């Protein structure tokens, strides 16, 4: 039986004879059902209609995105840390070329995903590479395709191994997670942020929302919590969820000033009233 994939959010569902009546993710206020209505595909069909492109952001961080764009359009990151490779976030398209190329780069030891919008075909990736999947337990209700490879973690931080830490920020989703790699950016540290912290179009600032397509903001205290959760970590570069959304330098200061601007705006302080 096929495992249907929602074409609007990329979520793959457990096998079923017929496509689900609705996509649970798209029916919820943080996503949307497109005007054309709900449609479905499968991984074999996606391999015919889409392929992946790769971009080396820095020596050991390679972006992987679908061409043409599929569903939400995010790109994943292969983070090669020396102690193991992590696939950060996930994309639906997984074809033979991608498997061959990534195996040539050392494969994938762990898959970690910021939030349910990017779960996509995580189980297919885990099976192809023999990887474990690390998801925050607070978002367990949004897992549509369960598998023994999925490990739920609880609490505020989880080291994958030395120098690689998952940080629960919350916000966009209750279990919203970012990845910190101390060895990235030539040892100055990187954060892979998904859209838990969204790199803005100017690539100087970040923003934080409950829903991006439906423009639902977060409370000031929720965004202040994000900044507090990241306080103990040093980093230079922030990788957002699209190829071109990267803050290369001074990422730590960008988080601090962006949280201050966000709070000033939602609280209607001077300049934002």
Q: Is residue 25 near Zn ion by the rule CB under 5 A?
A: yes
Q: Is residue 245 near Zn ion by the rule CB under 5 A?
A: no
Residue of 57, 75, 80, 117 interacting with Zn ion (CB under 5 A): 117
Q: Retrieve residue 61's tokens.
A: 């961080």
User: Contact 11/5 with Cβ under 8 angstroms?
Assistant: yes
Residue of 9, 143, 164, 193 interacting with Zn ion (CB under 5 A): 9
Examine residue 238 and say whether the peptide bond preceding it is cis (omega within 30 degrees of 0). Answer: no
Q: Is 38 exposed, middle or buried (0-12, 13-18, 19+ CB in 10 A)?
A: middle
Residue of 8, 91, 143, 255 interacting with Zn ion (CB under 5 A): 8
Q: Is residue 134 near Zn ion by the rule CB under 5 A?
A: no
Q: Is residue 26 near Zn ion by the rule CB under 5 A?
A: yes
Give the pairing type, strands 216-217 and 209-211: antiparallel
Stretch that binds Zn ion, among 23-31, 126-134, 151-159, 265-273 (CB under 5 A): 23-31
Q: Is 40 exposed, middle or buried (0-12, 13-18, 19+ CB in 10 A)?
A: middle
Question: What gap in Å lies between CA 270 and CA 135, rounded to an integer?
Answer: 39
Nearer to Zn ion, 70 or 129 (CB): 70
Interface positions, 140-199, toward Zn ion (CB under 5 A): 195
Q: Retrieve residue 148's tokens.
A: 């023994």
Question: What gap in Å lies between CA 168 and CA 136, rounded to an integer?
Answer: 8
CB of 103 to Zn ion, least distance (A): 29
Q: Is residue 86 near Zn ion by the rule CB under 5 A?
A: no
Stretch that binds Zn ion, among 46-54, 80-88, 115-123, 255-263 (CB under 5 A): 115-123
At 32 the three-state DSSP class reads: coil
User: Contact 236/185 with Cβ under 8 angstroms?
Assistant: yes
Q: Is residue 6 near Zn ion by the rule CB under 5 A?
A: yes
Cβ atoms < 10 Å from Cβ of 202: 7
CB of 115 to Zn ion, least distance (A): 5
CB of 171 to Zn ion, least distance (A): 10
Q: Is residue 218 near Zn ion by the rule CB under 5 A?
A: no
Binding-site size, Zn ion (CB under 5 A): 9
Stretch that binds Zn ion, among 5-13, 44-52, 136-144, 260-268 (CB under 5 A): 5-13
Residues of this chain that interact with Zn ion (CB under 5 A) are: 6, 8-9, 11, 23, 25-26, 117, 195
């Amino acid at each position: 039986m096929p495992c249907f994939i929602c074409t609007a959010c990329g979520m793959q569902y457990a096998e079923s004879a017929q496509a689900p009546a609705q996509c649970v993710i798209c029916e919820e206020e943080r996503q949307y059902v497109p005007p054309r209505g709900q449609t479905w595909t499968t991984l074999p069909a996606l391999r015919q209609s889409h392929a992946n492109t790769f971009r080396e952001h820095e020596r050991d961080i390679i972006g992987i995105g679908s061409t043409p764009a599929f569903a939400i359009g995010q790109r994943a990151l292969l983070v090669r840390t020396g102690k193991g490779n992590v696939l950060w976030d996930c994309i639906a398209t997984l074809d033979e070329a991608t498997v061959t190329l990534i195996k040539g780069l050392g494969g994938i030891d762990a898959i970690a995903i910021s939030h349910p919008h990017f779960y996509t075909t995580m189980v297919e990736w885990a099976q192809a590479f023999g990887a474990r999947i690390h998801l925050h337990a607070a978002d367990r209700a949004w897992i549509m395709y369960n598998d023994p490879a999925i490990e739920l973690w609880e609490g505020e931080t989880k080291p994958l191994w030395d120098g690689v830490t998952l940080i629960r920020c919350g916000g966009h989703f209750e279990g919203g997670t970012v990845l910190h790699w101390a060895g990235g950016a030539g040892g100055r540290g990187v954060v892979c942020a998904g859209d838990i912290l969204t790199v803005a179009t100017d690539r100087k600032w970040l923003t934080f929302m409950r829903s991006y397509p439906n423009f639902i903001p977060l409370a000031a205290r929720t965004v202040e919590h994000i900044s507090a959760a990241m306080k103990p970590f040093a980093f230079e570069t922030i990788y957002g969820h699209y190829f071109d959304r990267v803050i290369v330098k001074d990422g730590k200061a960008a988080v601090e000033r962006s949280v201050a601007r966000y709070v000033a705006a939602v609280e209607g302080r001077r300049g934002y009233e």
